[in-house]
């Protein structure tokens, strides 16, 4: 039987320091029926020259900067010809058997909508333990199945994702037709768009999990997750949207609980940044408190805001 074509889409922005290493790791996969697309999201460095040096094995597409990862990923999806598709960050390293294991898993589990692989983080030469083993809800599955694939039912997978996000953008291999049917990534999100798409995909059917480390995620100062306020606002937006579309009442309630918690976290973040009027306005979205922890949080933040001298009806933002 012919190997199904796999499309690998790499969004890149000023990625010249790492893009060659990333592309080498993709092109050196043991699975060789690949379509590799790099979408340059308005880079101003040497990204274009480096990527074009890999032609014709790699297709280079340029677009104006979009300010996020969703738009370049969706642009690449327009050109995807593979039966399966994966989105791989321009600074991650794909281990040699990642795609072969994932394709094999999806062939053996034809009802699954995607295969999610494990990963580890690295900085320089230091590598962390695998990510899934740090997720308490995943540990029983790992202990039971060791290094073998296992399947999560649709609702089972979504429940775990809400409680502890065990995956990121570079991990899944999707069925392309399903991703295109879903419209790809939500471009209104400037972070958490990967969780949003993975969750929506899990709503379409079973999910296969490969517990082996399939790639290494590079951590450095420019990682988008370092912007706490931006992450919290997108955590709120992504989970709120999912709660509106979630058909399972219990999972819908869990998503709404997450939104309330993230709003309280955002309030704390804004108080620390002295953006006090914005922090005060969040009380309307989190009141009334639903637990002793919520009540303690509200009291602490209220005291901090009061100590900064905000009079009723006056909400000056104090930014440093």
286 or 56, higher pLDDT: 56
Q: Is the pLDDT of residue 51 over 80?
A: yes
Which residue, of 222, 246, 278, is where some domain finishes? Answer: 222
Model confidence pLDDT, tens digit, residues 149-177 = 999 999 999 999 999 999 999 999 999 99
Looking at the domain assignment, is residue 35 inside a domain? yes
Averaged pLDDT, 21-26: 98
Query: Please, which pLDDT band fits residue 316 given cuts at 50, 70 and 90?
Result: very low
Looking at the domain assignment, is residue 312 inside a domain? no
Are residues 38 and 172 located together in one domain of the fold? yes
Looking at the domain assignment, is residue 104 inside a domain? yes
Q: Is the pLDDT of residue 307 over 90?
A: no
Cα angle 265-192-280, degrees, rounded to a multiple of 5 = 25
Are residues 185 and 203 located together in one domain of the fold? yes
At residue 113, the pLDDT reads 98
Contact 207, 262 (CB under 8 A): no
Per the rule left: phi > 0, alpha: psi between -120 and 50, beta: everything else, 82 is: beta
Looking at the domain assignment, is residue 1 inside a domain? no
Are residues 98 and 241 located together in one domain of the fold? no
CATH label of the domain that carries residue 27: 3.90.550.10
Tell me the percentage of the chain whose pLDDT exceeds 70. Answer: 88
pTM of the entire predicted model: 0.88
Are residues 204 and 269 located together in one domain of the fold? no
Are residues 131 and 44 located together in one domain of the fold? yes
Query: Please, which pLDDT band fits residue 83 given cuts at 50, 70 and 90?
Result: very high
Using CA atoms, how far apart are residues 281 and 302, in angstroms rounded to an integer?
11
Are residues 55 and 97 located together in one domain of the fold? yes
Q: Is the pLDDT of residue 60 over 80?
A: yes
Distance of alpha carbon 171 from its chain centroid, rounded?
Answer: 9
Q: Is the pLDDT of residue 43 over 90?
A: yes
Exposure string for 76-88, b = 16+ CB within 10 A, e = fewer: bbeebebbbbbbb
Tokens 């202990």 correspond to: 143
At residue 226, the pLDDT reads 53
Q: Is the pLDDT of residue 318 over 70?
A: no
Are residues 240 and 151 located together in one domain of the fold? no
Looking at the domain assignment, is residue 17 inside a domain? yes
For the chain, how many structural domains are there in total?
2
Averaged pLDDT, 119-126: 88
Are residues 83 and 143 located together in one domain of the fold? yes
At residue 279, the pLDDT reads 74
Are residues 167 and 189 located together in one domain of the fold? yes
Domain that holds residue 109: 6-222
Looking at the domain assignment, is residue 295 inside a domain? yes
- Which of 168, 235, 171, 178 is closest to 201 using CA atoms? 178
- Which of 74, 38, 65 is closest to 54 using CA atoms? 38
Model confidence pLDDT, tens digit, residues 243-258 = 999 999 999 999 999 9
């Amino acid at each position: 039987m012919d190997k199904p074509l796999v499309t690998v889409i790499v969004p890149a922005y000023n990625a010249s320091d790492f893009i060659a290493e990333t592309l080498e790791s993709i092109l050196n996969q043991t699975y060789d029926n690949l379509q590799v697309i790099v979408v340059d999201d308005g880079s101003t460095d040497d990204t274009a020259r480096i990527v074009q040096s890999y032609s014709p094995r790699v297709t280079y597409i340029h677009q104006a900067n979009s300010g996020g990862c969703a738009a370049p990923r969706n642009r690449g999806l327009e050109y995807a010809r593979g039966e399966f598709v994966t989105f791989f960050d321009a600074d991650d390293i794909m281990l040699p058997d990642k795609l072969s294991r994932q394709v094999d898993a999806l062939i053996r589990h034809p009802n699954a909508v995607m295969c999610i692989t494990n990963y580890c983080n690295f900085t320089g030469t230091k590598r962390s333990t695998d990510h899934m083993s740090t997720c308490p809800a995943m540990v029983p599955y790992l202990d039971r199945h060791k290094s073998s694939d296992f399947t999560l039912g649709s609702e089972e997978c979504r429940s775990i994702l809400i409680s502890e996000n065990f995956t990121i953008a570079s991990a899944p291999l999707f069925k392309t037709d399903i991703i295109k049917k879903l419209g790809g990534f939500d471009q209104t999100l400037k972070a958490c768009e990967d969780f949003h798409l993975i969750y929506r995909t899990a709503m379409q059917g079973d999910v296969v999990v490969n517990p082996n480390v399939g790639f290494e995620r590079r951590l450095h100062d420019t990682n988008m997750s370092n912007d706490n306020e931006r992450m919290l606002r997108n955590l709120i937006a992504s989970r709120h949207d999912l709660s509106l579309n979630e058909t399972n009442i219990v999972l819908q309630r869990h998503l709404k609980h997450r939104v309330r918690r993230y709003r309280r976290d955002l309030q704390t973040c804004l108080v620390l940044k002295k953006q006090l009027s914005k922090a005060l306005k969040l009380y309307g979205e989190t009141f009334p408190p639903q637990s002793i922890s919520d009540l303690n949080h509200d009291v602490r933040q209220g005291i901090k805001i009061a100590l900064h001298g905000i009079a009723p009806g006056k909400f000056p933002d104090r930014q440093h």
